[in-house]
Amino acid sequence: MLKKGLSILALAAVFGITLQAAESHADKYKMFPPAKEGYTRYIVDVPKTENDHDHKVELLIGKNIMVDCNHASLSATIEEKPLKGWGYTYLEVSNIMRGPTTMMACRKPKVEKFISVYAPKQTLRRYNSRLGTVVYVPSEYEVRYRVWSASEEMFTAEQR
């Protein structure tokens, strides 16, 4: 009887720890405000690495658009806003519009392609596996991302 009770207690402890881990992961972003009307909140969570400083995250904020052979891009206002009382920040994207494009004559028909905002100073972010990047974008847009990694190889600059 005692053995059965201890087994149940051990199982409950393991189950409780598992639930706690799941809850703490889900609650990790509860301090961030919900998306305001007309916006969607995206969270870019990246896995832990040996050294987060060897990586960067590039945010691709955009949508699928019919385009021809000309280069297409979007422009936007991207604000980094503080999360008051927490020391964290989040990004809010607004005023997204078609950016500059080339004006070549195209022979091929238009195709649907994901076009993103070009703003490398705001969209190339520090890789942080402990707390992801929170981004609020207008609902008709989405957030995708790429991870950039440094190679182990180093080069020596020339002295001139």
- Structure confidence by residue, pLDDT tens digits, 24-70: 555 789 999 999 999 999 999 999 999 999 999 999 999 999 999 99
pLDDT of 11 strictly over 50: no
Mean pLDDT of 146-155: 93
Residue 67 confidence (pLDDT): 92
Q: Which residues pair with 88 in a beta bridge?
A: 83
Residue 10 confidence (pLDDT): 45
Quote the number of domains for the chain: 1
pLDDT of 136 strictly over 90: yes
Residue 101 confidence (pLDDT): 82
Mean pLDDT of 129-143: 96
- Note whether 98 and 74 are within 8 A (CB): yes
44 falls within a domain? yes
CA atoms of 88 and 53, how far apart (whole Å) = 18
142 falls within a domain? yes
64 falls within a domain? yes
- pTM of the entire predicted model: 0.78
157 falls within a domain? no
The string over 80-110, giving b where at least 16 C-beta atoms fall within 10 Å of a residue's C-beta and e elsewhere, is eeeeeeeeeebbbbeebeebeeeeeeeeeee
| pLDDT tens per residue, range 74-121 | 999 999 999 999 999 999 999 999 987 888 889 999 999 999 998 888
Residue 46 confidence (pLDDT): 95
Sign of the Cα torsion 33, 34, 36, 39 reads: positive
126 falls within a domain? yes
Q: Which residue range is the domain that position 118 belongs to?
A: 39-149
Residue 116 confidence (pLDDT): 95
24 falls within a domain? no
